[in-house]
Amino acid sequence: MNDTKKDLIYLLACAANSLPADAAKVSAMDTDSLYALAKSQSLRAAVYFPLEQAGAADERFVQAYNKSVRKIIILDSERKAISAELEARGIWHMPLKGAILKELYPSMGMREMADNDIIYDPTRQDEVREIMLSRGYKAQSVGESHQDVYLKPPVLNFEMHTSLFEYGPEQKLYTYYEDVRRLMKPDEDSSFGFHLSDEDFYVYMTAHEYKHYNEGGTGIRSLLDCYIFMKEKEHSLDLGYVSDQLEQLGIADFEQARLRLAKKLFSSQETADMTDTEAEMLEVYLDNGTYGTAQKAAENKMKKYLESSETGSKSGFLLKRLFPDTDFMKHHYPILQKHIILLPAVHVWRWIRGVKKNRKKLGAEVKALKEHDNKKL
């Protein structure tokens, strides 16, 4: 691990625990490299706090922090307005992930926000689209996955979820959360607003992180989220219940490894003494940016295929990607549930749409296939 990565972790430990950074140590840091790494991890605002206290927050970090505060204010205001419209129409809804986690951080603006996520009644998708369009949003995608994406420049981005996980690779996660209503608790001041218990929120944030970690990767902010949440909530959680749910999902080992690593990194300003396995895990978090990369996702798809396939052939992987099983196709293209005869046409439409919308993803998969071939030589 290079010095810039060590510096980032040190400053995050200071920020997470509201501790001052050592001015001499900060003055020796390469702030250009630090800024670039913090930007790739959506952590410039978090790093700003200890840098500012040490008198070393240059204009780039100041601007990042101010932008974070402004965006949070705007997103919070807009989320409340959208929730009010959902409430007026009797559409159940619940905010997710960062909108909740940011409130646990020591200072406002410390956790940067790219968007807001809300899950809502999927039977009311047309009405939600109407609400968002009436508020000036552009529907970037609706009905194409488990989340509808709405944008309103310059800063508003809402992901409106019809489910928490998509049908597909992580089937246990999809099945567990398919009936999310069984986990939802009613808000005190709302008839149609809901929230998760602290226990279920932690299980969900872990499941969501696990999905990203095993697909395109996820950034070290996920580890910081884990530390911040458990620092605030661990003493009051029903850990027996949490453990049981994690076992059901098959992610108990991941959760324990991730939690141990988060505590080692951020509970002290001293450099963590990590095992080789923990150091390797940390590099995954540090090397793939906040939301992972298309290349990492392609590599992981190839790896999973090789582990599950008897032949591990390139042609087998291509066939699986071009022709997913019928259950997958029926789930993602409901017209096939009544008209299976249309399957060949839907396959062709899926390929055309993929080429138009997912060029980066397709390019990454081609690269992963070439690397697979090179390893076999």
Whether residue 11 is found in the same domain as residue 83: no
On whether residue 65 sits in a domain, the answer given is no
Residues 207 and 188 in one domain: no
Q: Please report the sign of the dihedral spanned by the C-alpha atoms of residue 13, residue 16, residue 19, residue 22.
A: positive
Q: Is residue 296 over pLDDT 80?
A: no
Q: Does residue 221 form part of some domain?
A: yes
- pLDDT above 90: residue 100: yes
Domain-terminating residue out of 276, 292, 308 = 292
Let me know whether 97 and 191 are in one domain: yes
User: Is the domain of 75 the same as that of 192?
Assistant: yes
pTM given for the model: 0.85
Residue 283, pLDDT above cutoff 60: yes
| CA dist., res. 91 & res. 118, Å (int) | 12
Lowest mean pLDDT of 105-109, 142-146, 190-194, 307-311, name the range: 307-311
Domain enclosing residue 287, as ranges: 197-292
Q: Does residue 63 lie in a domain region?
A: no
At residue 186, what are phi and psi to the nearest 5 degrees?
Answer: -70, 140
Question: Which of 194, 110, 180, 101 shows the shortest CA–CA distance to 146?
Answer: 180
Lowest mean pLDDT among 168-182, 263-277, 312-326: 312-326
| 255 and 237 fall within a common domain | yes
Give the separation between CA 118 and CA 126, rounded to whole angstroms: 15
113-122, 206-215, 257-266, 290-299: segment of lowest average pLDDT: 290-299
Residue 148, pLDDT > 60, answer yes
Domain count, the chain: 4
CATH number of 81's domain: 3.30.460.40
State the residue for tokens 């810039």: 4
Q: Is 346 exposed, middle or buried (0-12, 13-18, 19+ CB in 10 A)?
A: middle
Q: In the predicted model, what is the mean pLDDT of residues 181-202?
A: 97
**What pLDDT does residue 48 have?**
97
Task: Tokens for 13, please give them.
Answer: 């430990």
CA-to-CA dists, residue 202 to 207, 223, 228, 239, 257, angstroms: 9, 13, 11, 10, 15
- Position 307 scores a pLDDT of 64
Long-range contacts made by residues 57-61, C-beta under 8 angstroms, separation at least 24? Answer: 58/31, 60/35, 61/35
Tokens representing residue 309 in the block: 């396939």
Given pLDDT bands bounded at 50, 70 and 90, which one contains residue 377?
very low
| pLDDT of the residue at 216 | 80
Average pLDDT over residues 320-327: 77
Rounded to 5 degrees, φ, ψ at 30 are -85, 95
Q: 375 pLDDT exceeds 60?
A: no
Task: Say yes or no: 191 and 85 in one domain.
Answer: yes
- How far apart, in whole angstroms, are the C-alpha atoms of residue 319 and residue 90? 45
Last residue of a domain, one of 173, 196, 219: 196
Q: Which carries the bigger pLDDT value, residue 314 or residue 52?
A: 52
Examine residue 64 and state whether it is found in any structural domain, yes or no.
Answer: no
Are 285 and 309 contained in the same domain?
Answer: no
First to last CA, the chain: 31
Based on the number of CB atoms within 10 Å of its own CB, is 13 exposed (0-12), middle (13-18) or buried (19 or more)?
buried
Residue 294: pLDDT band by 50, 70, 90 thresholds?
low
Tell me which of 87-101, 262-276, 284-298 is least confident. 284-298
Residue 66 in any domain: the answer is: no
User: Does one domain contain both 174 and 89?
Assistant: yes
Name the pLDDT band for 304 (thresholds 50, 70, 90): low
CB 177 within 8 A of CB 171: no
Say if residue 299's pLDDT is above 70. Answer: no
- The reply to whether 43 and 3 lie within a common domain is yes
Q: Looking at the structure, tell me whether residues 42 and 77 fall in a common domain.
A: no
Residues 6+ apart with CB under 8 A from 83: 93, 95, 118, 190, 193
Average pLDDT over residues 211-232: 94
Residue found by looking up tokens 């992963």 in the block: 368
**Which of 272, 292, 312 is where one domain is finished?**
292
Q: What local confidence, expressed as pLDDT, does residue 88 receive?
A: 97
- Per-residue confidence band for 368, with pLDDT thresholds at 50, 70 and 90: low
Rounded distance between C-alpha atoms, residue 206 and residue 164, angstroms: 13
Average pLDDT of the residues in 43-63:
96
Q: How far apart are CA 226 and CA 261, in angstroms?
A: 10
pLDDT band per the 50, 70, 90 thresholds, residue 337: confident
Looking at residue 169, the DSSP 8-state letter turns out to be S
Q: What is the DSSP letter of 193?
A: B
Distance CA 204, CA 191 (A): 23
Judged against a pLDDT cut of 80, whether residue 106 lies above it is answered with: yes
Q: Are residues 166 and 106 in the same domain?
A: yes
The mean per-residue pLDDT over the stretch 158-186 comes to 93
| Cβ-contact 229, 16 below 8 angstroms | no
Token pair listed for 246: 């994690």
Cβ atoms 50, 13 nearer than 8 A: no
The whole-number pLDDT of residue 234 equals 96
Question: Both 75 and 187 in a single domain?
Answer: yes
Q: What residues does 150 pair with on adjacent strands?
A: 139, 158
190: tokens are 């709302």
Average pLDDT over residues 171-179: 94
SS3 of residue 286 by DSSP: helix
Q: Is 148 helix (H, G, I), strand (E, B) or coil?
A: strand
Integer Cα distance of 152 and 123 in angstroms: 24
